[in-house]
């Protein structure tokens, strides 16, 4: 008999492959090689499964970030994050698929995922010596680059279609977005920290 976790993971895989609207109990049961009756041992409805699967996705994402936090040096931690994130094709497809949904529970899960990832980036940039404002801006830029890249890769756009292309992109992103040395923090109110006027 398929376990609760089996159903959740299969649901996430199906969403990544075909979108949230394609999800159905009969199709999932066929994929798992079980009867539809097995579903109701674990879930009350398809909506109940979707809620549980979203929680599973959040748990997996949180665990992945916790694992990366074990990297003591912040620059190496950021590099590990970039490399790890760009290798997960199913995770890319899942994020893109869920981004297309207007369901409130999906939007809430995406918001929590985004906030957790941005906090991870912000903490690393702060450890590298950037002021809170600079760290926040760099975090937003880095995350925006990642989100754009995963959408393009999911669409098999030229420049990110092959593994070699992805490796080149990651190398360029690391060089552009992650400083090679610690950044001396400056007071945000100091003259040197002020941005030039346009």
pTM above 0.85, yes or no: no
- d(C-alpha 140, C-alpha 143), whole Å: 5
Reported residue count of the chain is 198
Q: Please, what are the domains in the chain?
A: 55-177 (1.10.357)
Please give the chain's pLDDT, 198 residues, in tens: 799 999 999 999 999 999 999 999 999 999 999 998 889 999 999 999 999 999 999 999 999 999 999 999 999 999 999 888 887 778 888 998 999 898 999 999 999 999 999 999 999 999 999 999 999 999 999 999 889 888 887 777 777 777 788 888 888 888 888 887 666 655 444 434 445 444
Q: What tokens does 100 get?
A: 């297309």
Q: Under a CB-based contact definition with an 8 Å cutoff, are residues 184 and 131 in contact?
A: no
- d(C-alpha 184, C-alpha 128), whole Å: 8
Q: What tokens does 175 get?
A: 């060089």
Q: Under a CB-based contact definition with an 8 Å cutoff, are residues 149 and 86 in contact?
A: yes
Over its C-alpha atoms, the chain yields an Rg (Å, rounded) of 20
pLDDT, one tens digit per residue, over 70-98 is 999 999 999 999 888 887 778 888 998 99
Inter-axis angle of helices 4-18 and 46-68, nearest 10:
90
- Asked whether the CA dihedral 26, 9, 32, 2 is positive or negative, the reply is negative
pLDDT, one tens digit per residue, over 30-57 is 999 999 888 999 999 999 999 999 999 9
């Amino acid at each position: 008999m398929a376990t609760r976790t089996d159903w959740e993971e299969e649901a996430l895989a199906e969403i990544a492959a075909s979108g949230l609207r394609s999800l159905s109990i009969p199709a999932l049961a066929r994929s798992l090689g079980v009867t539809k009756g097995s579903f109701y041992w674990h879930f009350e409805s398809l909506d109940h499964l979707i809620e549980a699967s979203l929680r599973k996705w959040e748990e997996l994402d949180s665990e992945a970030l916790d694992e990366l936090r074990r990297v003591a040096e912040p620059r190496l931690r950021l590099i590990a994050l970039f490399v790890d994130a760009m290798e997960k094709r199913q995770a890319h497809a899942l994020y893109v698929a869920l981004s297309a949904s207007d369901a409130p529970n999906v939007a809430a899960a995406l918001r929590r995922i985004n906030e957790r990832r941005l906090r991870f980036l912000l903490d690393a940039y702060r450890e590298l010596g950037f002021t809170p404002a600079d760290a926040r801006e760099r975090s937003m830029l880095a995350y925006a680059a990642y989100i754009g890249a995963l959408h393009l890769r999911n669409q098999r756009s030229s420049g990110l279609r092959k593994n070699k292309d992805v490796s080149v992109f990651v190398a360029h992103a690391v060089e552009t977005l992650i400083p090679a040395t610690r950044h001396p923090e400056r007071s945000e109110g100091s003259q040197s920290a002020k941005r030039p006027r346009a």
